[in-house]
Chains A and B, each alone.
Chain A
Amino acid sequence: MPRHIHTRHRYEIPLLNMTFLSHPAKVTKVMAHISAIAKRHRFGGDLTSNLQIASAEAINNISEHGYRGSELGRIGLSVARTPRHINVYLQDFGRPMPAGLLQNVMLPGFGENGGDLPEGGFGLYLIQTVTSAFQYRRRAASNEWTLSFRRY
């Protein structure tokens, strides 16, 4: 369990705490846990899909860039609820996000020619779009992500 990440909301109630390896098969299982939480707490369709989309993209980003794909690393995940929000906290010990990457997150462009269509680069844009707030920070040797979603 990630014990010391982020400043928690005063009225936060933990829903899920776990640590897992950044292997794609593990990530699929983690996403099943998140879906189960959403179902148990009756988050509703829109909140559930937003939570799934952003969490999956953040974990993919950590696995593919923070830990560079083949190198497995530990990822801490917490999900908590406040009166108004669901917060997802992620912590990893991989490489830092390149400076400036989050300053201007845009949807990859594409022309009318089908050959120009992007096959990647959607992840951060999706996270920014479906969260009500999204924070990343480097602290000591770890990366800390906070994804917030409005409940209502």
Chain B
Amino acid sequence: MFGLKGDWSLDVKERYFTLQDYSGAEPRWCTGCGDHGILAAVHRVCRDSQIKPEKTVAVSGIGCSSRLPHYMNTYGFHGLHGRALPVACGVKSRRPDLDVWVATGDGDCFSIGAAHWIHAMRYNMDITLLVFDNGIYGLTKKQTSPTTPMDVPTNTHPSGALLPPLNPLTVTLGVTNISFVAQIVDWNAPLRHEVIMKAHQHKGTSFVRIIQRCPVYVEAIGKSLQDEPARMKLLTHEKGIQLDDGVKRLFPNHAEHDPSDLHAARELAEDSSALPLGILYHNPDAPRYDMMTSVGMEMSVDDRLAGMNEALDHFAI
């Protein structure tokens, strides 16, 4: 048969992917932007998990964060403002075999995309959702975003935002059927890696809010937290993330928090005295909408047509 011997076999060597295999175009974020570190963490988690680049999709909306798909050597979709999650849910719904990442920002996700954020959290499809929260619209040069602190002057509010910032954690933790909620800062590499790794391993929508430095427009937001680590609280637990003592030493405040306790997670999120870092909530058993939408996907077109016709016949007169 076509000149092949009877004992011929396709010997596919096991592939090992290096960081280079996940690296796309050269990042064009500003000097000192926290996004560089987040991208490095995503590449590392992909490498450590050995996910196939051709089975990976990075989806984004609009904003600085949303440049991420360009910097991934995977499939990507740089979508419309606020619409990263509907695209990602669509991808996951029709191609459940793909590893779907979403990169979005505080403007993209918490403002124009807020409705999609709420419902995507409830759908709980297997998506890793990274929100790069720098507290400002950076790409369009310093307009107030939903998470801009009140004392930070912006081009739209030169005397500072008029309303208190939205708390993305309390909002997310209030949505029905959520399964994974975490918060990190971009400048701590081991914490960043561990949480994004756990988020990626979780089967369901993993919401990770990343407090991200924007050194050009709102340097003070990140710098004040970096200079005052006592304003943050590291969440530790056997069911949470495991960090070595060298990392723990960087955070003077620790709290033992069981991520399966939703009530305690909400209390931590509401506590304005310290920013919780780590996994706030994790429920591996929450129902996933992508498990439901994928039912019957293996059926042939003929079988589907036959099934539809049979169903429609019930209404025939």
Query: Does A associate with B in a complex?
Result: no
